[in-house]
Structure 1
Amino acid sequence: MNFQAVKAIYLFEMARTWRTIWQSIVSPVVSTSLYFVVFGSAIGSRIETVEGVSYGAFIVPGLIMLTLLTQSISNASFGIYFPKFTGTIFEILSAPVSFFEVVIGYVGAAATKALMIGLIILLTATLFVDIRIAHPLWMVGFLVLTAISFSLLGFIIGIWADSFEKLQLVPLLVVTPLVFLGGAFYSISMLPEAWQSVALANPVVYLISGFRWSFFEVSDVPVGISLAMVGLFLALCLGVIWWIFKTGYQLKK
């Protein structure tokens, strides 16, 4: 493996974060803090507990997951789309670097940024509510796997997109609604029985449920199923990226 190439891509992408720190880090943290003020204070004052957990603390895993998913996709999609837009992707394709090394560099940087923001939001949440993490290793594991999986999805979107508008299409119109409908701010058990079955068709439910279990040991679905869903999604994204580089889909447009 060409570690020097992976390092070069990774450091270049991480350097872009520090050049746009207000947009990359400060803005998501401020936005999440507003969620705590609105949902934690306004709504939380009317809802005492959810499954034995205070409402303010209950929504923390959902808020972290919302930011983690959207930031992973946005960072990875822009990271690979910009070389396509400027034409520098031809330099990458002609360099003695395998597609695996290219993916590690871009996806690794995007996942690192998303994890940084997720951890900062977790620290910010402690200023608003008391949080206990029952299984810290599981929590970190879910964070890392989810960040990598959705960074891979963002990488796919960046290759597929042929305009800046398309880069925002999936995060805004697909991922964000799925998170809001996936139990980020409520438990699936609070829904009518018929709607619970519908909600379980939402893949984000399994991500949020497993992540919340690592905090409070409460979940809407068994944690093993949540972990399996993350692994399945990760494998699917890897398969799609392998096909893209094998066929050259959208890489030279």
Structure 2
Amino acid sequence: MRVLSLLAILPFVSAKLLLNYNASAGDAASILGRQNLEGWNGAAWPKGQAQNASAFFTTAKDPNGIPAAHVHKGAHFARSEYHMLLGQTAASQTYYIGYRVSFGAGADYQSCPIVFQWKNFDSATVDKDNIPALLVFRQGSSADKYIIDFAAQADPSADQNISQKTLWTKELTHGTIYQFGIVINTAKSGFVQLYFNGRLSTLVNPSTKEHTTKYAGNFFPGQTEPKVGLYGGQATNACDSYIYNVAIGTALADIAAVAGI
């Protein structure tokens, strides 16, 4: 009986929580990794200058008083993000990313479209394959609605510079808390999956229109790592988001609570 009980727990031994941010526990945002800020109209952030009222990412509270990392990017400012797992990702692995977040009411999200990036930092391939997977905004059907897309490279075998194509889309409401689970396999013939509010999402192949829950591709063109926050064009509106939890692990169980699974 003892042998059977040991065997029962063995599948869980390989799981490894790589990052765990919990605003309700009072975690500092710096747990996420390295802060990236970008200045007025895309200018470099002044060397040695800390975050300020124009761009910040710090543990505070959301408008309802719930502990969260408040992410802010003023009008004409391009980036307020954290770069996670710096130098820790590798080929032929599967990464599970849980992301619990809400987005500020009334903001023009066309001015800060990207809220999650699986970003390539390999100088040899970044010009061709800059952001292999991302969550990105579009304007919705009314002022209080917005559309968020899960997008990725269009063709895993294409040897050309191609833009990301939408795999999944959803119209959401400002101020509502949502849970995302993003699965990225970094094998040469890898894949991505998306959980939304605890459910595995159906993705649509942009080329064939085939429906699938596992979209194939090479999502590790070089050193590729996750980022969360706000990034995009400057425009005229300030943008805010509120991040309650981020968990990254090596098994789905690692992110189940954060992703609502």
Shorter-chain TM band: under 0.3
* Larger strand percent: 2
Q: Which has the higher contact order (CA 8 A, sep 6+)?
A: 2
TM-score (norm 2): 0.23
* Larger helix percent: 1
TM-score (norm 1): 0.23
